[in-house]
Protein backbone atom coordinates (compact mmCIF):
# COMPACT_ATOMS: atom_id res chain seq x y z
CA UNK A 1 0.00 0.00 0.00
CA UNK A 2 2.96 2.32 0.64
CA UNK A 3 4.00 1.89 -2.99
CA UNK A 4 0.49 2.92 -4.10
CA UNK A 5 0.68 6.12 -2.01
CA UNK A 6 4.16 6.96 -3.35
CA UNK A 7 3.08 6.32 -6.93
CA UNK A 8 0.05 8.58 -6.48
CA UNK A 9 2.14 11.46 -5.12
CA UNK A 10 4.67 11.07 -7.95
CA UNK A 11 1.82 11.23 -10.46
CA UNK A 12 0.34 14.36 -8.85
CA UNK A 13 3.74 16.13 -8.77
CA UNK A 14 4.33 15.21 -12.43
CA UNK A 15 0.90 16.53 -13.48
CA UNK A 16 1.39 19.80 -11.59
CA UNK A 17 4.90 20.23 -13.05
CA UNK A 18 3.57 19.72 -16.58
CA UNK A 19 0.68 22.09 -15.95
CA UNK A 20 2.61 25.09 -14.65
CA UNK A 21 6.11 24.34 -15.96
CA UNK A 22 5.23 23.37 -19.55
CA UNK A 23 1.67 24.01 -20.73
CA UNK A 24 0.90 27.16 -18.73
CA UNK A 25 4.38 28.55 -18.19
CA UNK A 26 3.44 32.04 -19.38
CA UNK A 27 0.77 34.10 -17.66
CA UNK A 28 -2.28 34.54 -19.86
CA UNK A 29 -6.03 35.00 -19.65
CA UNK A 30 -7.93 31.74 -20.15
CA UNK A 31 -10.60 31.73 -22.83
CA UNK A 32 -13.77 29.67 -22.42
CA UNK A 33 -12.60 27.30 -25.16
CA UNK A 34 -9.18 26.73 -23.58
CA UNK A 35 -10.63 26.31 -20.08
CA UNK A 36 -13.20 23.82 -21.43
CA UNK A 37 -10.47 21.83 -23.14
CA UNK A 38 -8.40 21.63 -19.96
CA UNK A 39 -11.49 20.68 -17.93
CA UNK A 40 -12.10 17.75 -20.29
CA UNK A 41 -8.43 16.73 -20.00
CA UNK A 42 -8.47 16.80 -16.19
CA UNK A 43 -11.77 14.91 -15.96
CA UNK A 44 -10.43 12.33 -18.43
CA UNK A 45 -7.25 11.85 -16.38
CA UNK A 46 -9.37 11.48 -13.23
CA UNK A 47 -11.65 8.91 -14.88
CA UNK A 48 -8.66 6.90 -16.10
CA UNK A 49 -7.20 6.92 -12.59
CA UNK A 50 -10.61 6.03 -11.14
CA UNK A 51 -10.83 3.15 -13.60
CA UNK A 52 -7.49 1.88 -12.34
CA UNK A 53 -8.76 2.14 -8.74
CA UNK A 54 -11.86 0.17 -9.75
CA UNK A 55 -9.68 -2.53 -11.33
CA UNK A 56 -7.02 -2.65 -8.58
CA UNK A 57 -9.20 -2.34 -5.45
CA UNK A 58 -12.40 -3.90 -6.75
CA UNK A 59 -15.94 -2.68 -7.57
CA UNK A 60 -16.86 -1.66 -4.00
CA UNK A 61 -13.94 0.70 -3.39
CA UNK A 62 -13.98 1.75 -7.04
CA UNK A 63 -17.59 2.91 -6.72
CA UNK A 64 -16.71 4.69 -3.48
CA UNK A 65 -13.88 6.48 -5.28
CA UNK A 66 -16.12 7.78 -8.06
CA UNK A 67 -18.82 8.81 -5.57
CA UNK A 68 -16.30 10.77 -3.49
CA UNK A 69 -14.87 12.33 -6.66
CA UNK A 70 -18.26 13.46 -7.97
CA UNK A 71 -19.21 14.74 -4.52
CA UNK A 72 -16.05 16.83 -4.13
CA UNK A 73 -16.35 18.16 -7.67
CA UNK A 74 -19.93 19.30 -7.10
CA UNK A 75 -19.20 20.82 -3.69
CA UNK A 76 -16.37 22.80 -5.29
CA UNK A 77 -18.87 24.88 -7.26
CA UNK A 78 -19.65 27.02 -4.20
CA UNK A 79 -15.94 27.30 -3.46
CA UNK A 80 -15.22 28.54 -6.98
CA UNK A 81 -17.95 31.15 -6.67
CA UNK A 82 -16.32 32.51 -3.50
CA UNK A 83 -12.91 32.50 -5.22
CA UNK A 84 -14.46 34.66 -7.94
CA UNK A 85 -15.61 37.15 -5.29
CA UNK A 86 -12.11 37.17 -3.75
CA UNK A 87 -10.45 37.93 -7.09
CA UNK A 88 -13.02 40.66 -7.73
CA UNK A 89 -12.42 42.20 -4.30
CA UNK A 90 -8.64 42.27 -4.79
CA UNK A 91 -8.97 43.27 -8.49
CA UNK A 92 -6.69 40.41 -9.45
CA UNK A 93 -5.71 40.57 -13.15
CA UNK A 94 -7.23 37.65 -15.10
CA UNK A 95 -3.90 36.58 -16.56
CA UNK A 96 -2.35 35.79 -13.14
CA UNK A 97 -5.41 34.18 -11.55
CA UNK A 98 -4.42 30.73 -12.84
CA UNK A 99 -1.02 30.92 -11.10
CA UNK A 100 -2.64 31.99 -7.84
CA UNK A 101 -5.09 29.09 -8.08
CA UNK A 102 -2.19 26.73 -8.80
CA UNK A 103 -0.55 27.51 -5.47
CA UNK A 104 -3.95 27.38 -3.83
CA UNK A 105 -4.16 23.78 -5.06
CA UNK A 106 -0.77 23.03 -3.47
CA UNK A 107 -2.11 24.23 -0.13
CA UNK A 108 -5.28 22.18 -0.59
CA UNK A 109 -3.20 19.03 -1.19
CA UNK A 110 -1.46 19.53 2.15
CA UNK A 111 -4.52 20.51 4.20
CA UNK A 112 -6.75 17.79 2.72
CA UNK A 113 -4.17 15.18 3.76
CA UNK A 114 -4.30 16.46 7.35
CA UNK A 115 -8.11 16.65 7.46
CA UNK A 116 -8.83 13.32 5.75
CA UNK A 117 -6.24 11.25 7.61
CA UNK A 118 -7.27 12.91 10.87
CA UNK A 119 -10.96 12.39 10.10
CA UNK A 120 -10.51 8.69 9.34
CA UNK A 121 -8.53 8.26 12.56
CA UNK A 122 -11.24 9.99 14.62
CA UNK A 123 -14.07 8.00 13.03
CA UNK A 124 -12.15 4.75 13.56
CA UNK A 125 -11.65 5.58 17.24
CA UNK A 126 -15.08 7.10 17.88
CA UNK A 127 -17.66 5.54 15.57
CA UNK A 128 -20.53 7.48 17.18
CA UNK A 129 -19.17 10.72 15.69
CA UNK A 130 -20.52 9.58 12.30
CA UNK A 131 -24.01 10.36 13.60
CA UNK A 132 -22.93 13.92 14.37
CA UNK A 133 -21.45 14.23 10.89
CA UNK A 134 -24.68 12.89 9.42
CA UNK A 135 -26.83 15.43 11.26
CA UNK A 136 -24.41 18.21 10.29
CA UNK A 137 -24.58 17.25 6.59
CA UNK A 138 -28.39 17.30 6.62
CA UNK A 139 -28.24 20.76 8.22
CA UNK A 140 -25.67 21.93 5.62
CA UNK A 141 -27.75 20.53 2.76
CA UNK A 142 -30.89 22.31 3.90
CA UNK A 143 -28.94 25.53 4.48
CA UNK A 144 -27.57 25.46 0.91
CA UNK A 145 -31.08 25.03 -0.49
CA UNK A 146 -32.72 27.82 1.52
CA UNK A 147 -29.89 30.37 1.33
CA UNK A 148 -30.34 32.84 -1.53
CA UNK A 149 -26.66 33.47 -2.18
CA UNK A 150 -23.18 32.91 -0.85
CA UNK A 151 -21.56 35.76 0.99
CA UNK A 152 -17.90 36.34 1.72
CA UNK A 153 -16.68 39.33 3.67
CA UNK A 154 -13.05 39.48 2.62
CA UNK A 155 -12.21 42.52 4.71
CA UNK A 156 -13.58 40.74 7.81
CA UNK A 157 -11.52 37.57 7.37
CA UNK A 158 -9.64 37.20 10.67
CA UNK A 159 -6.55 35.61 9.10
CA UNK A 160 -6.25 38.38 6.53
CA UNK A 161 -6.81 41.09 9.17
CA UNK A 162 -4.14 39.55 11.42
CA UNK A 163 -1.70 39.28 8.51
CA UNK A 164 -2.19 42.89 7.43
CA UNK A 165 -1.78 44.05 11.03
CA UNK A 166 1.55 42.29 11.53
CA UNK A 167 3.11 42.55 8.05
CA UNK A 168 3.64 45.33 5.54
CA UNK A 169 1.86 44.51 2.29
CA UNK A 170 2.88 45.87 -1.11
CA UNK A 171 -0.18 47.86 -2.27
CA UNK A 172 0.11 46.81 -5.93
CA UNK A 173 0.55 43.69 -8.04
CA UNK A 174 4.09 42.95 -9.17
CA UNK A 175 3.51 40.54 -12.02
CA UNK A 176 2.70 37.11 -10.59
CA UNK A 177 5.08 37.52 -7.66
CA UNK A 178 3.84 36.78 -4.15
CA UNK A 179 6.75 38.73 -2.63
CA UNK A 180 8.39 41.88 -4.02
CA UNK A 181 11.70 43.56 -3.22
CA UNK A 182 11.36 47.12 -1.91
CA UNK A 183 13.61 49.79 -0.43
CA UNK A 184 17.36 50.34 -0.60
CA UNK A 185 18.04 47.25 1.50
CA UNK A 186 16.15 45.05 -0.92
CA UNK A 187 13.71 43.75 1.70
CA UNK A 188 11.02 41.36 0.45
CA UNK A 189 7.44 42.01 1.49
CA UNK A 190 4.20 40.19 0.51
CA UNK A 191 2.17 41.56 -2.38
CA UNK A 192 -1.60 41.83 -2.76
CA UNK A 193 -1.50 38.54 -4.67
CA UNK A 194 -0.17 36.76 -1.59
CA UNK A 195 -3.02 38.17 0.51
CA UNK A 196 -5.50 36.92 -2.11
CA UNK A 197 -3.85 33.48 -1.96
CA UNK A 198 -4.06 33.53 1.83
CA UNK A 199 -7.78 34.29 1.59
CA UNK A 200 -8.31 31.44 -0.88
CA UNK A 201 -6.51 28.98 1.41
CA UNK A 202 -8.53 29.98 4.47
CA UNK A 203 -11.85 29.73 2.61
CA UNK A 204 -10.84 26.30 1.28
CA UNK A 205 -10.30 25.16 4.86
CA UNK A 206 -13.77 26.43 5.76
CA UNK A 207 -15.33 24.58 2.82
CA UNK A 208 -13.54 21.41 3.94
CA UNK A 209 -15.84 21.49 6.98
CA UNK A 210 -18.62 20.32 4.62
CA UNK A 211 -16.68 18.22 2.13
CA UNK A 212 -14.60 16.09 4.52
CA UNK A 213 -17.57 14.81 6.64
CA UNK A 214 -19.43 14.16 3.37
CA UNK A 215 -16.48 12.15 2.06
CA UNK A 216 -16.33 10.17 5.30
CA UNK A 217 -19.96 9.28 4.71
CA UNK A 218 -18.91 7.64 1.44
CA UNK A 219 -15.87 5.65 2.58
CA UNK A 220 -13.47 5.16 5.50
CA UNK A 221 -10.51 4.21 3.28
CA UNK A 222 -7.86 6.94 3.51
CA UNK A 223 -6.42 6.39 0.03
CA UNK A 224 -9.84 6.31 -1.65
CA UNK A 225 -10.90 9.56 0.04
CA UNK A 226 -7.63 11.42 -0.40
CA UNK A 227 -6.92 10.44 -4.00
CA UNK A 228 -10.49 11.19 -5.12
CA UNK A 229 -10.37 14.56 -3.34
CA UNK A 230 -7.06 15.55 -4.91
CA UNK A 231 -8.03 14.41 -8.41
CA UNK A 232 -11.18 16.53 -8.11
CA UNK A 233 -9.17 19.50 -6.84
CA UNK A 234 -6.54 19.30 -9.60
CA UNK A 235 -9.05 20.27 -12.27
CA UNK A 236 -10.60 23.15 -10.36
CA UNK A 237 -8.52 25.87 -12.00
CA UNK A 238 -9.81 25.08 -15.48
CA UNK A 239 -13.33 24.49 -14.14
CA UNK A 240 -13.22 27.91 -12.47
CA UNK A 241 -12.83 29.73 -15.80
CA UNK A 242 -15.58 27.60 -17.37
CA UNK A 243 -18.07 28.16 -14.56
CA UNK A 244 -17.59 31.94 -14.63
CA UNK A 245 -19.37 31.97 -17.98
CA UNK A 246 -22.16 29.43 -17.44
CA UNK A 247 -22.86 29.14 -13.70
CA UNK A 248 -25.97 31.38 -13.91
CA UNK A 249 -27.60 28.91 -16.32
CA UNK A 250 -27.50 26.06 -13.80
CA UNK A 251 -29.49 27.82 -11.11
CA UNK A 252 -30.93 24.57 -9.70
CA UNK A 253 -27.50 23.01 -9.14
CA UNK A 254 -27.31 24.33 -5.58
CA UNK A 255 -30.51 22.42 -4.76
CA UNK A 256 -28.95 19.28 -6.21
CA UNK A 257 -25.85 19.78 -4.08
CA UNK A 258 -28.00 20.35 -1.00
CA UNK A 259 -29.98 17.17 -1.69
CA UNK A 260 -26.78 15.14 -2.13
CA UNK A 261 -25.45 16.37 1.23
CA UNK A 262 -28.77 15.61 2.91
CA UNK A 263 -28.85 12.15 1.28
CA UNK A 264 -25.35 11.26 2.51
CA UNK A 265 -26.18 12.63 5.96
CA UNK A 266 -29.34 10.50 6.12
CA UNK A 267 -27.36 7.46 4.95
CA UNK A 268 -24.90 7.99 7.81
CA UNK A 269 -27.71 8.28 10.37
CA UNK A 270 -29.51 5.17 9.10
CA UNK A 271 -26.43 2.99 8.62
CA UNK A 272 -27.59 0.55 11.30
CA UNK A 273 -30.97 0.05 9.63
CA UNK A 274 -30.33 0.58 5.93
CA UNK A 275 -27.23 -0.39 3.93
CA UNK A 276 -26.95 1.10 0.44
CA UNK A 277 -24.56 -0.47 -2.06
CA UNK A 278 -21.71 1.86 -3.16
CA UNK A 279 -22.66 1.53 -6.82
CA UNK A 280 -26.28 2.42 -6.04
CA UNK A 281 -25.09 5.37 -3.96
CA UNK A 282 -22.96 6.58 -6.88
CA UNK A 283 -25.94 6.36 -9.24
CA UNK A 284 -28.17 8.25 -6.79
CA UNK A 285 -25.56 11.02 -6.41
CA UNK A 286 -25.09 11.32 -10.18
CA UNK A 287 -28.85 11.18 -10.76
CA UNK A 288 -29.54 14.07 -8.38
CA UNK A 289 -26.78 16.30 -9.81
CA UNK A 290 -27.51 15.57 -13.48
CA UNK A 291 -31.24 16.11 -12.90
CA UNK A 292 -30.60 19.50 -11.29
CA UNK A 293 -28.46 20.56 -14.28
CA UNK A 294 -30.97 19.35 -16.89
CA UNK A 295 -33.94 20.88 -15.09
CA UNK A 296 -32.08 24.19 -14.89
CA UNK A 297 -32.09 24.33 -18.69
CA UNK A 298 -35.82 23.65 -18.99
CA UNK A 299 -37.24 25.54 -16.01
CA UNK A 300 -36.81 29.33 -16.26
CA UNK A 301 -35.48 31.08 -13.19
CA UNK A 302 -37.80 33.58 -11.55
CA UNK A 303 -36.54 37.13 -11.68
CA UNK A 304 -35.52 38.56 -8.31
* Whole-number CA gyration radius for the chain: 20
* Per-residue model confidence as pLDDT tens for the chain (304 residues): 789 899 998 998 888 888 766 666 677 777 778 888 888 898 999 999 999 999 999 999 999 999 989 888 887 776 777 777 788 778 888 888 878 888 888 888 888 888 888 878 887 777 777 788 788 888 878 887 877 655 555 556 676 777 777 778 777 788 788 888 776 667 888 888 888 888 888 877 777 776 778 888 888 888 999 999 889 888 877 787 777 767 667 777 778 888 888 888 888 788 777 777 778 888 888 888 888 888 888 887 766 5
Domain ranges of the chain: 2-298
Report the 10 Å Cβ neighbour count for 113: 15
Query: What separation in angstroms does the CA of 114 have from each of 155, 163, 266?
Result: 27, 23, 26
| Burial class of 171 by CB neighbour count within 10 A (0 to 12, 13 to 18, 19+) | exposed
d(Cα 303, Cα 41) in Å, to the nearest integer? 36
Q: Quick check: 27 and 99 in contact, CB under 8 A?
A: yes
Q: What is the pLDDT of residues 88-124, one digit of tens each?
A: 778 888 888 878 888 888 888 888 888 888 878 887 7
**Would you give the end-to-end CA distance of the chain in angstroms?**
53
pLDDT on residue 151? 52
Query: Is the pTM value of this prediction over 0.85?
Result: no
Q: Which positions ≥6 away from 226 have C-beta within 8 Å?
A: 112, 113, 116, 117
pLDDT on residue 227? 92
Neighbouring-strand partners of residue 190: 179
**Nearest of 220, 2, 213, 214 to residue 125 by alpha carbon:** 220
pLDDT on residue 247? 66
pLDDT on residue 245? 67
d(Cα 222, Cα 115) in Å, to the nearest integer? 10
3-class SS at 103?
helix
Q: What is the pLDDT of residues 160-212, one digit of tens each?
A: 777 777 778 777 788 788 888 776 667 888 888 888 888 888 877 777 776 77
Q: Which positions ≥6 away from 120 have C-beta within 8 Å?
A: 216, 220, 221, 222, 225
pLDDT on residue 148? 61
pLDDT on residue 303? 62
pLDDT on residue 137? 81
pLDDT on residue 66? 93
3-class SS at 28?
coil
Q: 3-state secondary structure string, 107-155?
A: HHHHHHHHHHHHHHHHHHHCCCHHHHHHHHHHHHHHHHHHCCCCCCCHH
Amino acid sequence: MILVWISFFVMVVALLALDLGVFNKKDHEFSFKEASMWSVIWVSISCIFGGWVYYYFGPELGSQWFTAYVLEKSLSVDNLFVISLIFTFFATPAKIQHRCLFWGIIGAIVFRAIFILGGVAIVTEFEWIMYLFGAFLIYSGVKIMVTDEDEVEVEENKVVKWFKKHFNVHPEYVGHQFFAKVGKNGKYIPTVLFVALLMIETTDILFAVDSIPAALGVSNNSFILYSSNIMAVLGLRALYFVLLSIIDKFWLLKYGIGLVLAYIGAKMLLVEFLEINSTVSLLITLGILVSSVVLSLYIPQKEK
